Structure 1
Amino acid sequence: MLMHLSQDKYPDRRCESFSERNHFTLVIHTSPYQPPSSTATTNMQDPTQSLTALLSILSPNGERSGHGPLGPPPLRRLGCANQNISSHRLCPNDATQTCSGCFLVRYCSKECQTEHWKFHKQDCKSPLKSKSWSPAWVRENRKPAFVNGPDDDTPQKAFGIPMELWGNMTVHRHRADEICKKDLSLAFIASGDLRNVVRTVNELPENYAGTLKIVLNDKNCRIVSRNLIILTIPCKPFTSGTQVLQPLSYQFLVFPLLPDAPTLQHLDVHTRWDPLTTTFLISLLTGDEIDLSQAKDTWSRTMHAPGRVDHLALDAWRRSGLLLPFGARTDHMCVPNAWLFSNQGDLLLIDSSNPLVGWDYTEVVKAGKAHGTTEDDLMGSMFFYVKDQLVEFSKRLRRFKIHIYSYDKDAKDLPAVLRSDVSSPKTNPYAAILGLFMNWTIWKKEGQASSSKTTMHRAMKEMASFHSLYNSMNKLDAFHDTSIAFREYLNEEKADWIARKVELKYRRINKIVPHRCFAELGTSPSSLPCMSTADKWYAIACLGNSSCLERYVEWVKVPRESTILVSLS
């Protein structure tokens, strides 16, 4: 794998493939290093040189970090839940029989289930598994604390720091028909994590023969650096690559090894990265480890705070912070994940954070079943789903002709260094600019169901057709038609006038993503999110982090369409 770092003053510089069989290149566009004008800095080393020197001395196998062995082999299928290090119980068999008490764990035999019962009993008998379980605010017929706080005079305490390291928008599928030989250009202007990049690449046809160019930008140096690590770690099936990437993204404890350092040694030493981002990456690679007991305490105070109670599968994740099948071994995870903590040791997540947010719930469960998990084991299903996605993504990075251009700019500053070429719509008839409006109701209150008694009554009437109202009051907007208010908002912002000035027009019916989260693609702007089944409603109301107010707009060239797809997600 070749990763090429290039400066802004060479914006058109081309990257060559590392080999004929490896077409993936990664270009980092950043500002040249300019040290402060002070005599005291004459001996300061260029941050890029420091990073290069650091990578050159990293151990090829990571053992010099002194943290011990890799731990258990990567999970291919769900293993027998009879695992307990202290009792030396490590059944190596695949699971075939489901516990009828909780439907969360599986065993290879009745003997293993009996042997493991004293460890599993507490989870199996948990009241959170009861179908009649409901939160205290429902049983006590009062307003929940997350609405008004413990009492009317006390504001609700916020737990954690709201840095969206995982993203909070639903990942979307893109059309992939009739593009097997077409060159594609994608731009993720405020990318956040790599979910949409991964899913877009994985949805390309198996025989895709075009060239895919991806612009990846985010102003958060932590997110940019983490994406860099994920893009450069080889992730082959059933090897250590997946063991590094999954915890790196979704766990507060990781393996006791520096994340696959040898892959970073393909950095081009003749160029440099942005000083702030480079310095941040160096600090993460070389900094002192976070104290384990302190990290556990911080995680517990945030994710398992009083009042934050979920059903058993999610509750287990909030207690452990580990994205693993229910009952899997966890002893090999012993190093706090520095990507999720600030320099001061604060957890950079809020208590409502959830690894499932933004992923397709149906696809997650499907992947879990394919690897032997139960439908109730959400985190186990998520573990195998993310693993499958990362493995497939890594394969395609090496098989397809993909060029990724990474920026660390503020979105509003990116046009100064990035120009989108336009050409005949025959190049790509689906090309468009995709705009996401996340917070438009701040300026247009009518977009919210609670804006008037009439709209609230109408939304509540729609919602009344569903049996379960648990966690649904904060999803009331899912039953509210926001199209009229949103059109008024665009008119007030002169969106059509601005679009005409640059020869663009908006599509009345979206062709790339639905006009709002959970709606069906190709429907009218006034259609509501699709909640035709209990599973879909559960995914929206209980697992999703969407406000259900977000709107997507697609602009196309007039009379020609742009050849670059720009996602503001």
Structure 2
Amino acid sequence: MATITPPGWSRTSICANRYAGQQGCQMGGRFACKACLLVAYCGPVCQKAHWSPLLKSTWQPGWALERRTPAFVGGLLFGASGDLRNVVRTIAMLPEDFRGKVSVTLNDRDFGIVARNIIMLLVIFLSQELDEAVESVIHLWYSAFIKDLHMDLLDNRVRPLVETVCGKIGSKSPRSLLGKTWVFGSRSLRVVLRKEEWLLLPSHLQLPHNWSKSRAQEVRTACTMAEERRDYRERRMLSQLPSHPLCADKFRRDGILLLFGFSIEDFSTPNPTIFGKTEDWPMNDSADPFDGWDLREVLQIHCGPASNDIYGKLHWFLTHLLSRFYHRVSNLEIQFELLNFDAEILPDHLNSLTPSRFPMFPMADILDLQKHCGSLDVLLDGPHDNPHATLVTLFMNAVDEMADGKEEEISLKAEMMQLMKYLSPKGLGFSQGDPWMVNMLAARPLVRDVETFFDRYMEIHRFKEAEKLFGLKMKEPHTIIEPWPTRLKLRHGERGWEDEFKIRHSSAHFGCERYVEWKRIDSIPQLPQELA
């Protein structure tokens, strides 16, 4: 990606010391902090006042200093997302000379995800200016608190559209499916929801419980900074690049996706698309904006002298990507359709609601290959209609599922020997709580023999039978996404291997994410009677 200099960035940014008086230091930030390269200060006094122990190379997690067994020993946590990122990237990357018609159907069984996607697409369509649209979507998407102008956009433009629909469906039965299409010139957004979900949608546009910022922040940090989760947070810090733990700690505390040294004073309104009707923060304490993006791409962004400001880089990466998305959406004939169904019953509804065939059909977290392929293959274009039509499936946990028992013990020894080349031993500890050992175990997936494990997964789940049963065939080579996009590409000793390992280890990806692309090999698959 080309180097990007953030619009509005100034070489005389304000000093980053927020602890100097009620307003913080108001002097110009003329000198970048050479220790962290996150912010700029007016001078050494403010720099020392703003210093954090997380920046020290000698930093150790609390469980090591306190000589206790860390709380996470014996468990792991995994997450998934169904947001707009893949759609945004796909449309943003369309060639500039592309002038064809685009139809996009999005489905998720989690209504909260669908509601946020509806709201953000409406913001894109209703915003008259690029900067307004991009900034609003970034903070509605990732920030726990938003500006008054973002809230005004929701109140004055988005909410009236939703409430008009809700006002017209009072006589409909509670479970009835109701569709509404909004047209914006050559663009349209169609939403199909049950009545009860339509009536719930306005609640995602208003503040819960009339909370103040302080109350909402208290609820959020009770989760994101919970003392009982401290060991889990510090385990994550062990693998992160220098200065990134401080950035992550700041985001956990204030929840605003912004450059490190920028003021968050204007972000005073709890984000109504995130804060729900319950009294709790609705996300995992470990949820992070980086979970859905490639850290390597983000690190290429230039955002001034604060070159280690990783969340600032992500902010400008998203600014660039969403700007391209807004531009492409504004100049294409494009139709979006958003649905809220379980994937297993999706074909029953798509047959009557949408076009019967799709050129591309991405699926994630497939737990039962035959069940889902058997229901979704009929939605994929046949080879005579579109030889490029592709079903994309993502297997996130397949390798882990296969890595157990005696072979896991053998694999562990080989992996640890390999990791010794990347992470030199520190100290004398080889216990489960030793920070070096914890970091080694976290890095294991990066050197795992993923091909062997996935071959076994395909055999157990009868991938070859799926080809015969459903008229689908695995594509070789892939044409949309590489099979293992997050695994290490360089061997130890090759040029750039150290940087690649550090970045991958610091990211939220483990190298075990496996994509499989499928194509139809006949027009109408012949299903056996027992599977029909």
For residues 206-355 of structure 1, the aligned pairs below 5 Å read 206-234=96-124, 239-256=131-148, 257-264=151-158, 272=180, 273-286=193-206, 288-306=209-227, 307=230, 308-309=233-234, 310=237, 311-355=245-289
- The 3-state SS of whatever aligns with 1:374 is coil
| Aligned-pair identity (%) | 25
- Contact kept, 8 Å, 2:382 with 2:520, in 1: the verdict is no
- The reply to whether residue 491 of structure 1 matches residue 438 of structure 2 is no
- Contact kept, 8 Å, 1:291 with 1:336, in 2: the verdict is yes
- Seen in structure 2, the aligned counterparts of structure 1 residues 328 and 208 have a Cα distance that, compared at 3 Å, is same
Greater Cα shift, 231-240 or 198-207: 231-240
- The reply to whether residue 145 of structure 1 matches residue 71 of structure 2 is yes
Displacement of 1:531 in angstroms is 11
Greater Cα shift, 288-297 or 407-416: 288-297
Counterpart for residue 360 of structure 1: 294
- Contact kept, 8 Å, 1:225 with 1:277, in 2: the verdict is no
- Seen in structure 2, the aligned counterparts of structure 1 residues 504 and 127 have a Cα distance that, compared at 3 Å, is same
- The 3-state SS of whatever aligns with 1:395 is helix
Displacement of 1:441 in angstroms is 5.4
Provide the rounded CA distance (Å) in 2 between the counterparts of 1:352 and 1:450.
31
Kindly provide the amino acid, as one letter, of the partner of residue 541 in structure 1.
H
Q: For structure 2, list consecutive stretches of 5 or more residues without a partner in the other structure.
A: 1-5, 169-178, 181-192, 238-244, 351-355, 359-379, 425-435, 526-532
Provide the rounded CA distance (Å) in 2 between the counterparts of 1:397 and 1:561.
34
Kindly provide the amino acid, as one letter, of the partner of residue 248 in structure 1.
L
Provide the rounded CA distance (Å) in 2 between the counterparts of 1:531 and 1:436.
30
Q: 1:376 aligns with which of 302, 308, 331?
A: 308
Provide the rounded CA distance (Å) in 1 between the counterparts of 2:521 and 2:333.
30
- The reply to whether residue 121 of structure 1 matches residue 48 of structure 2 is yes
Q: 2:409 aligns with which of 444, 453, 465?
A: 453
- The 3-state SS of whatever aligns with 1:433 is strand
Displacement of 1:203 in angstroms is 1.4
- Contact kept, 8 Å, 1:448 with 1:482, in 2: the verdict is no
- Contact kept, 8 Å, 1:504 with 1:558, in 2: the verdict is yes
Counterpart for residue 404 of structure 1: 336
Counterpart for residue 551 of structure 1: 514
Provide the rounded CA distance (Å) in 2 between the counterparts of 1:450 and 1:473.
17
Q: 2:323 aligns with which of 373, 391, 395?
A: 391
Displacement of 1:345 in angstroms is 2.1
- Seen in structure 2, the aligned counterparts of structure 1 residues 238 and 100 have a Cα distance that, compared at 3 Å, is farther
Counterpart for residue 477 of structure 1: 445
- Contact kept, 8 Å, 2:120 with 2:137, in 1: the verdict is yes
Kindly provide the amino acid, as one letter, of the partner of residue 194 in structure 2.
D
Kindly provide the amino acid, as one letter, of the partner of residue 269 in structure 2.
V
Provide the rounded CA distance (Å) in 2 between the counterparts of 1:431 and 1:458.
40
- Seen in structure 2, the aligned counterparts of structure 1 residues 533 and 450 have a Cα distance that, compared at 3 Å, is farther
Q: 2:421 aligns with which of 462, 465, 473?
A: 465
1:263-306 CA distance string (max 9 Å, x none): 43567958554223222211232454334333222222222233
- Contact kept, 8 Å, 1:472 with 1:541, in 2: the verdict is no
Counterpart for residue 470 of structure 2: 502
Kindly provide the amino acid, as one letter, of the partner of residue 108 in structure 2.
D
Provide the rounded CA distance (Å) in 1 between the counterparts of 2:83 and 2:62.
35
Provide the rounded CA distance (Å) in 2 between the counterparts of 1:454 and 1:200.
41
Displacement of 1:96 in angstroms is 6.6
Provide the rounded CA distance (Å) in 2 between the counterparts of 1:466 and 1:198.
35
Counterpart for residue 366 of structure 2: none
Counterpart for residue 204 of structure 1: 94
Aligned residues: 433
- Contact kept, 8 Å, 1:198 with 1:389, in 2: the verdict is yes
- The 3-state SS of whatever aligns with 1:513 is coil
For residues 523-538 of structure 1, the aligned pairs below 5 Å read 533-538=497-502
- Seen in structure 2, the aligned counterparts of structure 1 residues 347 and 517 have a Cα distance that, compared at 3 Å, is farther
For residues 73-92 of structure 1, the aligned pairs below 5 Å read 76-77=8-9, 80-82=13-15, 86-87=22-23
1:376-408 CA distance string (max 9 Å, x none): 111111111112222221111111222212111
- The reply to whether residue 515 of structure 1 matches residue 486 of structure 2 is no
- Seen in structure 2, the aligned counterparts of structure 1 residues 281 and 119 have a Cα distance that, compared at 3 Å, is farther
Provide the rounded CA distance (Å) in 1 between the counterparts of 2:129 and 2:37.
28
Kindly provide the amino acid, as one letter, of the partner of residue 99 in structure 1.
C
- Seen in structure 2, the aligned counterparts of structure 1 residues 240 and 441 have a Cα distance that, compared at 3 Å, is same
Provide the rounded CA distance (Å) in 2 between the counterparts of 1:288 and 1:502.
50
Counterpart for residue 363 of structure 2: none
Provide the rounded CA distance (Å) in 2 between the counterparts of 1:555 and 1:222.
30
Q: 1:195 aligns with which of 75, 78, 85?
A: 85
CA RMSD of aligned residues (A): 3.6
Counterpart for residue 187 of structure 2: none
Displacement of 1:346 in angstroms is 0.9
Provide the rounded CA distance (Å) in 2 between the counterparts of 1:278 and 1:240.
26
Counterpart for residue 541 of structure 1: 505
- Contact kept, 8 Å, 1:447 with 1:482, in 2: the verdict is no
Displacement of 1:457 in angstroms is 0.8
Kindly provide the amino acid, as one letter, of the partner of residue 400 in structure 1.
L
1:188-236 CA distance string (max 9 Å, x none): xxxx111111111111111112222211111111111111111121367
Displacement of 1:548 in angstroms is 3.9
Structure (1 or 2) with the greater helix fraction: 2
Provide the rounded CA distance (Å) in 2 between the counterparts of 1:461 and 1:561.
50
Counterpart for residue 353 of structure 2: none
- The 3-state SS of whatever aligns with 1:145 is coil
1:464-518 CA distance string (max 9 Å, x none): 2113657341231221113333333333333322322221111344332232341
Counterpart for residue 182 of structure 1: none
Provide the rounded CA distance (Å) in 1 between the counterparts of 2:66 and 2:485.
33
Displacement of 1:350 in angstroms is 1.8
1:48-74 CA distance string (max 9 Å, x none): xxxxxxxxxxxxxxxxxxxxxxxxxx9
Q: For structure 1, list consecutive stretches of 5 or more residues without a partner in the other structure.
A: 1-73, 108-112, 149-154, 168-191, 563-569
For residues 146-161 of structure 1, the aligned pairs below 5 Å read 146-148=72-74
- Contact kept, 8 Å, 2:416 with 2:440, in 1: the verdict is no
Provide the rounded CA distance (Å) in 2 between the counterparts of 1:250 and 1:463.
34
TM, length-normalised to structure 1: 0.67
